[in-house]
Structure 1
Amino acid sequence: MIFSFLQSDTEQKVDSLKQEVARPLDQVTDKVMTWWDTFIDMVPNMFVSVILFLIFLLLAKAGQKLFVKVFNRSSNNQALENLFSTIIYYAILGLGLFIILGILKLDKAVTSLLAGVGVIGLALGFAFQDIAANFVSGIMLAFRKPFAIGDIVKLSDFMGTVSRTNLRVTVVETWQGQEVYIPNKDVLSSPIVNYSILGERRIDLAVGVSYADSLEQVQEIIEKTLKGLEGVIRHDDMIFTYYEFGDSSINFEIKFWIKYPKNPSYLEMRSKAIKAIKKAFDEEGITIPFPIRTLDFGIKGGQTLSEMQIHQAGNSPS
């Protein structure tokens, strides 16, 4: 009797254990069956979604090509073309994705995803604000076009030729042969000096002549010499001015224009002008004086070294 009781109790425990094991298995089975039924119901929608995805993929490529074709008619900026064509491509794909997710009844998932993307985007915006500033500045520079590739410019104290530019940096090749990568936000916030955009540049030369020379003759020689020099333009806009009485010369400044940056270069043209002026002065007997200093050896002033020697010689004992 005791044995029967123990056997009955053991069977009850086994049955209870089977029920506890069977319950989660039944739940999993029911869930899998529900998913399967849902999948079967969604097969037509999934088929439509695949078709829509292919259609929007073709539309995105067609829209990108159409934009590039239209954009090239008004601008040749490669950076802007790549930027906006990419934006249009993914914008069309994004629109198709939202429609497809709606067909698949995943609207709530899209809402949660957008909320998460917004938070992540805000965090990244603070973390990469310098990169974002350079990116926006690059777009503004592309639209404003203060310089083009090959222009001679001065940007942030660096002077040279613009070799290339993108939406993050502007690259300037200096006269010393180095490439300088200047962030676009610094380019946009600093003065931009473009020496190529007008195609002309003025050279200013300062010279001094002797007090004994005729100032009218000097001006006539300078103007005649520079006007006859190849490469000088805008002869009527040449400016000649005397501006000071120097220690040993009367100083003047001549300002004349050349084509720039065409050959001859600015430095070469300035050198040619200096040599031509020196040659003309030599032929006409015009003097460019050396600096003169008068030494005074007297205690109270007004005595030269020779006078002091004579005075000392007269007072010396015989």
Structure 2
Amino acid sequence: MDSILDQFNQSLGNLGTKLQGWLNSLIVNLPDLLLAILVLVVGIYLTKRMQNYFYRLISRFSDKETVNRLLSNIATALFFLIVLFIVLSILGLDTALTTLLGTAGVAGLAVGLALQDPIVNLFAGIMMSMRTFFKIGDLVETNDFFGVVEKISLRSTILKTLQGQEVVLPNKNVYQNPLKNYSTSGERRIDLSCGVSYGDNLENVKQIAISAIEDNLDYNNNRPVELFFTEFGNSSINFTLRFWTNSGNQKNYMELQSNAIIAIKKAFDANDITIPFPIRTLDFGIKGGEKLNEVISAGWLEKGNGNGTD
């Protein structure tokens, strides 16, 4: 019984010694502790002020609310991390913080490798927001998809195709691949390919086709209507007619293209200009060949002789 009491009294003595040592250490380090608390309070106050400052600064370069908030929060977290490092340095715990940061860095690397694609999509969304390549409502073509931009987020871009389907594209694919924006310039060029008969006067064809566009369509008359003959085809002499529209809307584009085809067809019919069907000309009178009438006559003669012998 006495040994138990002695052991208990010894433990109380050790505890008292420990508490006395901690108290002495606290008294010795009290100035550093007060300074660290003061720095921490000032740092928290400055962190709140810096968050608003970072947001206003980033908003000068981007008008995307979500991206601005995200970047300002990241910058604020880094600022507070610096404040925390200063506080722990005052308390002599900077070595522990360095060890903790190293451990967090290794863990962050592992998480980054596991979430590589989402992180890449996130940063691609941020970069796309900083530089305006397109906006909601634009008609674009990218990654073999053609449609109107419906939604832009930090992870993906959603297109609505002209057939009505929604396509979700990761921002990484949109950022790293070519993109055509048909709405940025506010104008588009329509190219029509056609052909006329070899017997038609090409100068008249050119004049009549251009007049058909100029007299019947509401096109961009600040740019000229152009026609270029391109090749001698199997059945026709082919040409390309080009003119511009002020609308980037796909429906208006297709309506104007359709009206142009109608106008050219009417003009050609009115002026007896032929758009030929695919044809093949057989000429047995070429050098080294035989004339068609001689071949037919020979065939009938041979047939008659054959009937006479049966």
Q: TM-score, normalised by structure 2?
A: 0.78
**8 Å contact kept, 1:242–1:251:** yes
Q: Identify the residue that residue 252 of structure 1 maps to in structure 2.
A: 239
Rounded to whole Å, the distance in 2 between the matches of 1:39 and 1:287 is 104
Q: Identify the residue that residue 7 of structure 1 maps to in structure 2.
A: none
Rounded to whole Å, the distance in 2 between the matches of 1:145 and 1:227 is 36
1:195 paired to 2:182: yes
**8 Å contact kept, 2:62–2:129:** no
List per-residue Cα deviations over 1:178-227 (Å, max 9, x = no partner).
Answer: 33232233223222222222222211111122223222111111101112
Instruction: Determine helix, strand or coil for the equivalent of 1:256.
Output: strand
Gaps of 5+ in 1: 1-13
**8 Å contact kept, 2:139–2:249:** no
Gaps of 5+ in 2: 284-288
**8 Å contact kept, 1:222–1:277:** yes
**8 Å contact kept, 2:124–2:172:** yes
Choose the corresponding residue for 2:72, options 80, 85, 93.
85
**8 Å contact kept, 1:60–1:88:** no
Rounded to whole Å, the distance in 1 between the matches of 2:63 and 2:167 is 24
Q: Identify the residue that residue 163 of structure 2 maps to in structure 1.
A: 176
Rounded to whole Å, the distance in 2 between the matches of 1:167 and 1:262 is 27
Rounded to whole Å, the distance in 2 between the matches of 1:307 and 1:200 is 63
The change in CA–CA distance for 1:302 and 1:184 in structure 2 (over 3 A counts) is farther
Q: Which moved more, 1:135-144 or 1:81-90?
A: 135-144
The change in CA–CA distance for 1:266 and 1:28 in structure 2 (over 3 A counts) is farther
Q: TM-score, normalised by structure 1?
A: 0.77
Instruction: Determine helix, strand or coil for the equivalent of 1:265.
Output: helix
**8 Å contact kept, 2:62–2:130:** no
Q: Identify the residue that residue 114 of structure 1 maps to in structure 2.
A: 101
Alignment of 1:26-175 (within 5 A): 26-28=13-15, 30-31=17-18, 34-35=21-22, 53=40, 55-175=42-162
Q: How big is the shift at 1:167?
A: 3.3
Q: Which amino acid in 1 is paired with 2:75?
A: I
Q: Identify the residue that residue 288 of structure 1 maps to in structure 2.
A: 275
Instruction: Determine helix, strand or coil for the equivalent of 1:109.
Output: helix
**8 Å contact kept, 2:223–2:244:** no
Choose the corresponding residue for 2:218, options 222, 231, 245.
231
**8 Å contact kept, 2:217–2:256:** no
Size of the alignment, in residue pairs? 303
CA RMSD of superposed structures (Å): 3.7
Q: Identify the residue that residue 286 of structure 2 maps to in structure 1.
A: none
Rounded to whole Å, the distance in 2 between the matches of 1:33 and 1:171 is 67
Rounded to whole Å, the distance in 2 between the matches of 1:191 and 1:216 is 40
